[in-house]
Amino acid sequence: MHSDIAEVLFTEDEIAERVSEIGRAITRDYAHTADENGIVLISVLRGAAIFMADLARKIELPVEMDYMAISSYGNGAKSSGVVRILKDLTSEIEGRHVIVAEDILDSGLTLTYLLKNLASRHPASVEVATLLRKQTRAQAKIDCKYIGFECPDEFIVGYGLDFAERYRNLPYIGILKPEVY
C-alpha cells in the first residue's frame, strides 16, 4: 500500500497533535454548555470513524458517540451527486449539542445534506469538526468551527480515507498516485 502513495501530506504525529488541539478547543468551548447529557459526536461512516474515535478521547467532557452512513461517492473517485442515508442515528439529538466529526470537506454535498437533516431534528446546536478541508473552487459554503488541516485538491487516502475501501488503515494521510485510481 505504501508504494501507491505519491507523497505523505500529514504524518501520524502531526495528525495526533492536531486532533489533540481540536479536542482541547471543544472541551474549552463546551465546558459551560454541555450538561449532564454531554455532547453528541456524530461520525459519518466509514471514513470519519478513526478521526472521531481519536477526537472523543481528547474531549474532557461527557461524550456520546453515534454514527450515520451517508454516501455520495460509491466506489468512484468523483462524487455521484446523489446523497443517500445508508444508516441513521440511534441517538435522540433534540435539545442536545451535536458535533459532526467529518473526515474531509470536499465538494460539501454530503455535509450540506447532513447538516440540513440534523437541523430538522432540533438540536441545541450543530457544529462541524472536519479533519481535512480540501482547497476546491466548487466547494459548498459550510461553516466548520474546527478544521484540522487545509489540503490540496488531490486524491488523498489514509487515516480513514479510502479508495475502493483500501488504504483506510494507513496511519498517515497521503496523495494516491494517479495510476492507482
Three-class SS of residue 116?
Answer: helix
Q: How far apart are CA 74 and CA 95, in angstroms?
A: 33
Confidence class for position 15, pLDDT limits 50, 70, 90: very high
Which residues form the domain of 80? 13-153
Decide: 128 and 144 in contact? Cβ < 8 Å.
yes
On the question of pLDDT at 74 being above 60, the answer is no
Q: What is the mean pLDDT of residues 37-58?
A: 94
For position 76, what pLDDT does the model report? 53
Residue 6, domain member (yes or no) = no
Confidence of residue 84 (pLDDT cuts 50, 70, 90): confident
In sequence order, the β-bridge partners of residue 84 are 71
Q: Active-site positions?
A: 106
83 within domain boundaries:
yes
Q: What is the pLDDT of residue 70?
A: 84
What average pLDDT does the chain have? 91
Q: What is residue 78's predicted lDDT score, i.e. its pLDDT? A: 56
Q: What is the pLDDT of residue 73?
A: 57
Is residue 136 a part of any domain in this protein?
yes
Domain membership flag for residue 161: no
Domain count, the chain: 1
Domain at 33, CATH number: 3.40.50.2020
Phi-psi region of 158 (alpha: psi -120 to 50; beta: other; left: phi over 0): left
Q: Which three cell numbers stand for residue 60?
A: 474532557
Quote the CA–CA distance of 103 and 160 in Å, as a whole number: 7
pLDDT of residue 138: 75
Is the peptide bond preceding residue 46 cis, with omega within 30 degrees of 0? yes
50 vs 38, residue with greater confidence: 50
pLDDT digits (tens, 9 = 90+) for 101-159: 999 998 888 889 999 999 999 999 999 999 999 988 777 888 899 999 999 999 999 99
Stretch 44-73: mean pLDDT: 92
In a domain, 5, yes or no: no
